[in-house]
Structure 1
Amino acid sequence: MIEDKIAPFIGTWILDSDASEFEQGDPPKSATLKIEDNFGMAVFTMNQVSADGAVTNDSFEGVPDGPEVKLGKSGLVDAMRLVFANDRNLVSEARRGGLTIMKAARELSEDGRTLTVTQTVHLVDVASFTNVSVYRRAQ
């Protein structure tokens, strides 16, 4: 069942800035990622404080291994899908016009205490950038 597969990812995760690597943008001063299961719907809530002190809060949701979801709120992407690459890797793809422009792979460590998010952004006709954010499970 999907609920069983999402269970190890559920919780609050705190960014370990020193262990993270950013090709695009400055690493945030702090960040948290909360993953919840809402009756089979995975809900992701991100809160971060940038290097210059600006606070950003964002969230999205999707059904793991479910259909692609059409999005309306962002002009940047028009659809998103969420799939399990394997039991320890949950991947989201943000798409525009059928092309993946952002992919975030969330890989859970063997002990379940570290979540490494590898996010790649493809800027059409420019380049691709990858940021690796390492999160530790909040106690």
Structure 2
Amino acid sequence: MSDKIGPFLGTWILDTEASEYQQGEAPKSATLKIEDNFGMAVFTMNQVSADGQVTNDSFSAVPDGPETKLGKSGLVDAMSLRFVGDRNLVSEARKGQLTLMKADRELSEDGRTLTITQTVHLVDVDSFTNTTVYRRAQ
């Protein structure tokens, strides 16, 4: 994996006050861990919802590598992960040729804040954008 992933690696804690949700309710808390596993970027998310329900999820992909086939949810069947410049890591999830979700992870210049702008397209309904702000864990 290129050195470009290095600044993104680590544990990130959600800043609920700085985040904005068009879809869904803001969680009480969340963490995001990004790790390098032999060239594969591994994203692990842990979240506590407003009503106290705990959700854990993970996915992995090779940045600037081949598309990753997905089969877990059935909602999407493939995902790509690519760098856009030095400070943006963008993933797109597709069903066939249709992009249903795009997440742009933008790293601040000082490397201490990760802002994720995630847009979800609900076919024949609407599109929603959530902006979540994470701070690097100390």
Q: TM-score normalised to the size of structure 1?
A: 0.97
User: Structure 2 CA distance, aligned partners of 1:69 and 1:3?
Assistant: 18
Give 1:74 shift.
1.5
1:85 and 2:81 equivalent? no
User: Structure 2 CA distance, aligned partners of 1:20 and 1:72?
Assistant: 29
Q: Alignment RMSD, CA only?
A: 0.6
Give 1:3 shift.
3.0
Which residues of structure 2 form unaligned runs of 5+? none
AA aligned opposite 1:37: D
AA aligned opposite 2:22: E
User: Structure 2 CA distance, aligned partners of 1:101 and 1:9?
Assistant: 24
1:106 aligned partner: 105
2:126 aligned partner: 127
AA aligned opposite 1:74: S
**Paired-residue identity, %:** 81
User: Structure 2 CA distance, aligned partners of 1:86 and 1:96?
Assistant: 26
Q: Deviations over 1:76-111 (max 9, x none)?
A: 110000000111000010100111100000000000
2:60 aligned partner: 61
1:94 and 2:105 equivalent? no
AA aligned opposite 1:84: F
Q: Deviations over 1:9-64 (max 9, x none)?
A: 00000000000000001100000000000111000000000011110000000000
Instruction: Give structure 1 regions of 4+ aligned residues with deviation exceeding 3 angstroms.
Output: none
Give 1:125 shift.
1.0
AA aligned opposite 1:89: N
2:69 aligned partner: 70
AA aligned opposite 2:93: A
User: Structure 1 CA distance, aligned partners of 2:97 and 2:68?
Assistant: 12
User: Structure 2 CA distance, aligned partners of 1:39 and 1:110?
Assistant: 26
Aligned residue-pair number = 138
Q: TM-score normalised to the size of structure 2?
A: 0.98
Give 1:71 shift.
1.0
Contact 1:3 1:37 in 2 (8 A): no
